[in-house]
Amino acid sequence: MAIDGKVIRGSLKAGEKQAIVHAVSHESRIDVAQAQQVGDKSSEIPVVRELLKETGLEANKISLDASLQP
């Protein structure tokens, strides 16, 4: 699994940010789970932690974007 966050452009008023964090399977390249994040990208870490707990993906080997590494 790989997890990364992406900013959604053009979805809100100028200056506002909205992003999603999504988990993708390396083998199938299918989006397995996603969570919405509103605000600054610095809040990705708690969103990813919650996503892992809620989906049970915490039991898998996960690769993360460098900005998500503690």
Query: What is the reported pLDDT for 39?
Result: 63
Averaged pLDDT for residues 55-61: 86
Domain borders along the chain are: 2-68
> Where do runs of H (alpha helix) occur along the chain?
44-55
Query: What is the reported pLDDT for 21?
Result: 87
Residue reference for tokens 């900005």? 67
Each residue's pLDDT tens digit, 18-56: 788 889 988 888 889 998 886 655 578 888 889 899 998
- Is the model more confident about 10 or about 52? 52
Per-residue pLDDT at 8 exceeds 80: no
Token pair belonging to 52: 């892992």
Query: What is the reported pLDDT for 70?
Result: 52
The CA-atom distances, in angstroms, between 8 and each of 53, 55, 59, 61 are 24, 23, 28, 27
State the CB neighbour count (10 A cutoff) for residue 16.
9
